Chains A and B, each alone.
Chain A
Amino acid sequence: MKTIFEKSVPGREGCWPCEGMAEEAYIPAELLRDGDIGLPSASELDVVRHFTKLSQRNYGVDGNFYPLGSCTMKYNPKFTEIVAGMPGFTRLHPVLPQLQGAGGLCQGALEVMYETENLLSEITGMHAFTLHPMAGAHGELTGVMLMAAYHKDRGNKKTKIIVPDSAHGTNPASAAIAGYTVVSVESVDGIVDPAALAEVLDDEVAGMMMTCPNTLGLFEKNLPEIVAMLRKVDALLYYDGANLNAVMGKMRVGDVGFDIVHLNLHKTFATPHGGGGPGSGPVGVCEKLKPFLPISRVAKLEDGQFFLDYDYPKSIGYVAPFYGNFGVVLKAYAYILRLGRAGIIRASENAVLSANYMRKRLEDHFEIPFNRICMHEFVASASRQTKNDVHALDIAKALLDKGYHAPTVYFPLIVPEAIMIEPTETENKETLDRFIDDLIEIAELAVTDPAAIQAAPVTLPVTRLDETRAARAMELTDDL
């Protein structure tokens, strides 16, 4: 499909009348650019049609099942868009509450932030939350910065952060960017083994980053022991909230001893992923870490008025220009209010039920390396299919032809040929059954006609794309 630049016709006007446009008179010529910018010139209908057609070459949860493991692609309720689009929120300039005498002009927005922080604190059992981090990985970076600030304040000499080998790639990357050395700890039978942890744990460890349930979908049942071990060396325990959707109402991160947690509002709390963002990655902390949270902090006066509090001398400072992705926070707040206590518990229960149902129905057809009760997702493997030269990637592509988005493949790294499936609680049983039936059919085809799977996809606008060519040619813009 042609790009919008290829469709451009010089002189054609968009949705803004441009007749009689004056020459730039206020800025000296030597400070102005030469010539045209090269932005498209197209009619409004040209633009509408172009992007409508592009959207038809895309795939979202609204269209069909999206069992992308670790990404919690649940349904994004439509009414939350109305909330985020209310002019009382969209028109608010973020500097407003920082102006003397203008705090009264944004009490509703400050209240949303205050209430959301409280709700997230109760859901996770943490003492306080900041909404500032703008994505999960940004929350991780904030969390590691909090660790560093805590240890600096205590006079601790800490240089290392422990990350299990099953962790998301963002964990070690975040730790490294905050200046720490990353130490990996091997999993035993799919979970962190206290004995293996003991081998790498020493006084220089600032903290450990864990995902629970972990990326294999398994609950880390040695948690209490791990917490006790870390406490002994004054190391902090960090919870990567990517998989919180499994345990809401069943385990609170704060109660079991985690010191820092980031949540992914775009996963657990149903805000749309938008093709890769914007997300929101609020960070919660235990009481001793509250003084280090980013500023500003939203606070409530005795008379019920809300204000921004900057009086946190130990704060790590600004991680965002303002208060995080407020528009995303609004949607998550509306979602939590809609579900309420029972609805939130029900969400986790059904996410886990659906994952186990799928795992059980697939176990005769695919290798499932840790085949026991899982949480909200499980990891299968294409290792049986490889003897016919059919790999996880081929199975993923065959699923695209069946009209699904593929599961996450080749992650976690510790399972060869991994196929990571997360159904979420919002998919009905017919969808789960149809997907399983299709997957079983693909497994059978892998034996009878592997070439058919290796050739997939054939029903989409493009077949497999040449990634090597892309990296070599480096054609990153529509200019030659």
Chain B
Amino acid sequence: MPYVPHTESEVRDMLETIGVASISDLFAEITQEMRPKSFDLPEGLSEMEVLSKLEAMAGKNATDRTNFLGAGFYDHYIPAAVDALTMRGEFYTAYTPYQPESSQGTLQALFEYQTAVTRLLGMECANASVYDGGTALFEALMMAVRKTKRRKIIVSEALNPIYRVMLGSYTSNLDLEFVTVPHKGGMTDIDGLKAAIDDDTAAVLVQNPNFFGSINDFTELFAAARERKAVSVISAYPVLQTLLKTPGAMGADVAVAEGQSLGLPLSFGGPYLGIMTCTKQMVRQIPGRIVGRTQDSKGRTGYVLTLQAREQHIRRQKATSNICSNQSLCALRALVHMCALGELGMKRAARLSVERAHICAQRLTAIPGVELMTKGPFGNEFAVTLPINAFEIIAKLTARGFVPGFPLGRYYDGLENGLLVACTEKTSEEQIGIFAEMLKGALK
């Protein structure tokens, strides 16, 4: 039987030690009325059979399409070292580092991860990660609510709509009020957001670049929030953050990000990585695991989980969050990814992505009837307005091997002709050329 080592004679010996006649005696407390009404599962398969079944299923998924789809989730190159190092069993098959002396590897790696993401985002503190960028944003919002004891949340409509739907779901049983400030042609309406902040405001939530790819400096907005003692929360894109003005430099109190673009495959939606950073002032509000540096009894440097008094296993219902785990292995992947590429490689990947997107935008907007939707600077993703419905174009081009982007009409009424196009360093100029030709043909 797979993965169970006991032989028949060992089972007999063990039963004898226990003092029962059979294994079923061990389950005697489960009376007949509690026994399963059915347990109709398939018979087991060999390893080879399972692999061939799964290979066949994987084969039903198309991986030969050229992808201009982003929407917050990007296909960046992952160096081979990431898999090779993170798959080591010592990391892979460990649990949460409850025994620090035998978990210094995980703990130091998470400490280094915290260091890397705080530097990337220009913030002071980080936790050891949460589930994904959406839950990170929800947790950031709750930090603000706890800190300010206020209940109004101001959110930009240009913030990823997938996250906005998540926030709505998570807060449906909480007494919070959301004020959504509409986007202006795909741009974040900074003046509108500023005007919405009042003395009841717990937090103002923005994204950079926003969902449409548009880049902003939120320094003034965050200053306005601080004046009213509201908490500034920003959702960032880690790859571009190697180039862009940091949330810290803008004066954000909490900066979160989806870490998928740092060494995690798209993998149909997960596992991903919720990056959470904040100022020192906010650190006692941050949920989840945090690693701190300390010393052992001989004065040697070591690492432990710290500030645990915030957490559910100590505080139970009074905890900052119910979160128990983090995405440790995903955080490790992100760290190895950043180290393998290094300071220069990270910047180069970002610059290439931005360059490709600008070449792509140029090619697409040269097609009659195709226009850039947003007027300001963008990074590796941009929104265009097509002369016809974007859903139709997506269906047409996808059938021909090119997934042209995300249909903005899926979440924004009135933007049915809007298409969100993303490039990464993996997008070649040749692919961009073919894509532009195809789009031109499809619009004729």
Contacts and interface: CB of A to CB of B under 8 A. Distances in A.
A249 B29 contact: no
Contact of A328 (B46, B168, B243, B271): B271
Interface in A76-98: 76-77, 79, 81-96, 98
16 contacts: A27-B215, A27-B244, A93-B69, A101-B396, A134-B131, A136-B324, A137-B325, A272-B329, A334-B50, A338-B47, A341-B40, A344-B41, A349-B23, A353-B23, A461-B101, A463-B296
A326 B10 contact: no
A352 B36 contact: no
B178 interface: no
B96 A276 contact: yes
Interface stretch (A9-17, A197-205, A229-237, A437-445): A9-17
A125 B27 CA distance: 19
A434 to B, nearest CB: 14
Contacts of A88: 55, 57-61, 63
B332 interface: yes
Interface string B157-178: 0000011011011101111000
A47 B98 contact: no
Nearest to A329: B270
A38 to B, nearest CB: 4
A396 B198 CA distance: 53
B132 A1 contact: no
Contact of A471 (B3, B245, B302, B306): B306
Contacts of A250: 27, 30, 35-36
A99 B326 contact: no
A178 B172 CA distance: 9
Contacts of B344: 13-14, 16, 18, 21, 41
B374 interface: no
Contacts of B398: 99, 101-102, 105
Given A175-B317, A336-B41, A406 B99 contact: yes
B192 interface: no
Contacts of B338: 39-40
A313 interface: no
A47 B81 contact: yes
Given A58-B91, A62-B92, A249-B36, 6 more contacts: A39-B338, A47-B81, A88-B58, A224-B34, A275-B329, A324-B270
Interface residues of A, number: 200
Given A93-B73, A136-B324, A112 B57 contact: yes
B28 to A, nearest CB: 7
A145 B322 CA distance: 13
A352 B26 contact: yes
B325 A324 contact: no
B354 interface: yes
B18 interface: yes
Interface centre among A60, A250, A340, A357 (most CB of B within 10 A): A60
Interface string B85-112: 1111111111111111111111011111
A252 to B, nearest CB: 4
Nearest to B309: A471
A171 to B, nearest CB: 8
A54 B105 contact: yes
Contact of A465 (B25, B60, B100): B100
Given A125-B36, A317-B169, A400-B99, A373 B4 contact: no
Q: Could you say which interface size class chain B belongs to?
A: 35 or more
B257 interface: no
A172 interface: yes
B373 interface: no
A466 B294 CA distance: 6
Interface centre among B34, B97, B168, B332 (most CB of A within 10 A): B34
Interface stretch (A63-71, A283-291, A379-387): A63-71
Interface in A334-377: 334, 336-347, 349-350, 352-354, 356-357, 360-361, 373
Nearest to A274: B329
Interface in B161-207: 162-163, 165-166, 168-170, 172-175
A477 B269 contact: no
B6 A353 contact: yes
A12 B174 CA distance: 51
Interface stretch (B120-128, B148-156, B364-372, B436-444): B120-128
Contacts of B229: none
B354 to A, nearest CB: 5
B348 A26 contact: no
A447 interface: no
A200 to B, nearest CB: 15
A327 B265 CA distance: 10
B211 to A, nearest CB: 13
Contacts of A325: 270-271
A446 B103 CA distance: 25
A94 B73 contact: yes
Interface centre among A26, A356, A465 (most CB of B within 10 A): A465
Nearest to A62: B89
B42 interface: yes
B281 interface: no
Given A58-B103, A321-B269, A21 B348 contact: yes
A155 interface: no
Interface string B14-27: 11011110010111
B313 interface: yes
